[in-house]
Structures are given as structure tokens and as C-alpha cells.
Amino acid sequence: MRLFRFLTGPDDSAFCHKVTAALNAGWELYGTPTYAFNAATGQMQCGQAVRKDVEGKEYSPDIKLGAQ
């Protein structure tokens, strides 16, 4: 099964740690990162898609993607 997540957050070190943690958990970068201004918060926001192949399991909407 192939899993997909889109990680988002303010442009700070916590976002970098979120992506780093996903990579160390076996996720791979997918596509290019995004960067946009959030007018509501006055901050720049980052986004990065990641994907992961998991053998021996079938997809279900109940899967907690962050736990895989």
C-alpha cells in the first residue's frame, strides 16, 4: 500500500523537525515544497508532501497515517 501525507506548518524549525521526523520514519519527499503567506497569522507557511510504501497491509480510511 502507498500512503500519502501533506505536512504543513509555520516557517520555523518545528516544521523542519516535522519533515525530518517523517523522513527518519521511512517517509520520502514527494514533489516540491510549498511556501505561502498566511494573512490571518501574518506568518509564512511551509508545506511538503511525503509518501511511504508499506508492504503487507491494505489501505483503510481508519489508518492513522502518522503512526505508520
Average pLDDT, the chain: 93
Residue 27 placed within a domain: yes
* pTM summary value: 0.84
* Residues in CB range of 67: below 8 A, 6 or more apart: none
Q: Cα-Cα-Cα-Cα dihedral of 41, 22, 19, 42, to 10°?
A: 0
Q: What percent of the chain has pLDDT over 70?
A: 99
In a domain, 14, yes or no: yes
Q: In this predicted structure, what is the pLDDT of residue 15? A: 96
- Using DSSP's 3-state secondary structure scheme, residue 56 falls into coil
9-24 pLDDT tens trace = 999 999 999 999 999 9
Quickly state the pLDDT bin for 2 (edges 50, 70, 90).
Answer: very high
Question: What residues form DSSP beta bridges with 49?
Answer: 6, 30
Number of domains in the chain: 1
- 21-48 tens-digit pLDDT: 999 999 999 999 999 999 999 999 999 9
Asked whether residue 25 is assigned to any structural domain, the reply reads: yes
Residue 67 is assigned to a structural domain of this protein: no
Return all residues near 8 (Cβ < 8 A) that are at least 6 apart. Answer: 15, 45, 46, 47
